Copies of this chain bind each other. A is one copy, B any other.
Amino acid sequence: MHRLPLGPLYYEYSRHNEVRLRIEPGEKVLVEAEDAFSGQVRTNQDRRDRKAMPYGNPQTGPIYVNGAQPGDTLGVQIHEIRPSIGQCATRTSDPKQLAEWIGTDCPHGTHVCPIRDGKIYWSDEITIPYRPMLGCIGTAPDTGVPTTGPAGPHGGNMDIIETGPGSTVYLPVYVPGAYLYLGDAHAAMGHGELSASGLEMPSETIITVDLIRGKTIPGPRIESAEEIMTVATGCPMERATAQAYAWLILWMEEEYGWDRWKAYDLLTHVGRISVGYYAIGTVAAKIAKRYLV
């Protein structure tokens, strides 16, 4: 297994960065990543300092996958996501999207939560099950360099809770070598990531990166033990929802032999939506695998 230690913090999915690791398809890698706060919050007293570090969600990468060519697809199996320092941290801040209903006198709300025995100690009374996921994972586009703020066809800041251990994330390859990046691990996350700060943790993620040659996908796909799902981003979320479902229909047609109109009908009755970071309209449309037969 390769190990990609923490290095420069990248805030873009860029083909211009120097490659940090070259692997063969099918190889396993342990990737160290800083948390979404760029490590600025390690104690309850720490504050997010936007002057010193205006961007969020630093990525580790790029990983160059030998032989990956534009038009191929990466399949990134996530085996494990571990907290690097046994804790995660979160903060609240001015809830501008909710200000109309709950006001704006929000305390900074930085707090650190220990992680032990599969539990996150959010407060003295409340523990949350440890259900880690990657907020960000993506490849580098061939035109345009997305920041780690939004998500897009390249992946990026999707914040889909199903991006966790046991899942495989499929991503389009746009440039030779694919240039894979990941980061922004959360110890757990709610649909929508309401305050925009999850339970952010520096992380060690173990992945296997497969290459599916000659297979082209229009945007990210995720397969978990129970479900397959497609991820779309865009505003309004109504449109992202339509697009994610349309992409799921096309996946069912293309790989599972479904008639698209029957898939369209069935999803009306059994489809599920998993909402990512809501303010940028990222959603996953899902179907249980048991229906795909």
Q: Chain A interface (Cβ within 8 Å of chain B)?
A: 11-12, 14, 16, 54-55, 90, 92, 95-102, 104, 106-107, 109, 120, 122-123, 125-126, 128, 143-147, 149, 188-199, 234-239, 241-243, 245-247, 249-250, 260-262, 264-273, 275, 278-279, 281, 285, 291, 293
Q: Are B273 and A192 in contact (CB under 8 A)?
A: yes
Given A261-B109, A265-B90, A144:B291 Cβ within 8 A: no
Question: CB-nearest residue of chain B relative to A144?
Answer: B147
- A sample of 27 cross-chain residue pairs with beta-carbon separation below 8 angstroms, ordered by A number, consists of A12-B144, A96-B99, A97-B238, A97-B239, A98-B245, A98-B246, A99-B104, A100-B246, A101-B249, A102-B246, A104-B104, A106-B261, A109-B261, A109-B265, A122-B266, A126-B266, A144-B145, A145-B145, A190-B271, A191-B272, A192-B241, A192-B273, A194-B264, A195-B264, A198-B268, A199-B269, A238-B281
Partner of A238, one of B55, B123, B237: B237
Determine the distance from Cα of A149 to Cα of B146 in the docked complex, in whole angstroms: 13
Determine the distance from Cα of A260 to Cα of B268 in the docked complex, in whole angstroms: 34
Q: Are B236 and A198 in contact (CB under 8 A)?
A: no
The smallest C-beta distance from A106 to any residue of chain B, in angstroms, reads: 5
Given A122-B269, A191-B271, A192-B241, A101:B143 Cβ within 8 A: no
The smallest C-beta distance from A129 to any residue of chain B, in angstroms, reads: 9
Determine the distance from Cα of A102 to Cα of B246 in the docked complex, in whole angstroms: 6
Determine the distance from Cα of A101 to Cα of B242 in the docked complex, in whole angstroms: 9
The smallest C-beta distance from A179 to any residue of chain B, in angstroms, reads: 14
Q: Are A125 and B238 in contact (CB under 8 A)?
A: no
Determine the distance from Cα of A190 to Cα of B266 in the docked complex, in whole angstroms: 9
Q: Are B268 and A194 in contact (CB under 8 A)?
A: yes
Q: Are A268 and B237 in contact (CB under 8 A)?
A: no
Partner of A264, one of B98, B198, B245: B98
Residues of B within 8 A of A55 (CB): 143
Q: Are B101 and A246 in contact (CB under 8 A)?
A: yes
Partner of A126, one of B92, B144, B291: B291
Q: Are B143 and A144 in contact (CB under 8 A)?
A: no
Residues of B within 8 A of A265 (CB): 90, 92, 109, 195
Partner of A273, one of B102, B120, B275: B275
Known contacts A92-B268, A101-B250, then 17 further A-B pairs from the complex at CB < 8 Å, ordered by chain A residue: A98-B246, A98-B249, A100-B246, A101-B243, A101-B246, A101-B247, A102-B246, A120-B269, A188-B270, A189-B269, A190-B272, A198-B268, A234-B235, A237-B241, A237-B281, A273-B278, A275-B275
Given A237-B241, A279-B238, A267:B194 Cβ within 8 A: yes
Residues of B within 8 A of A145 (CB): 12, 14, 144-145
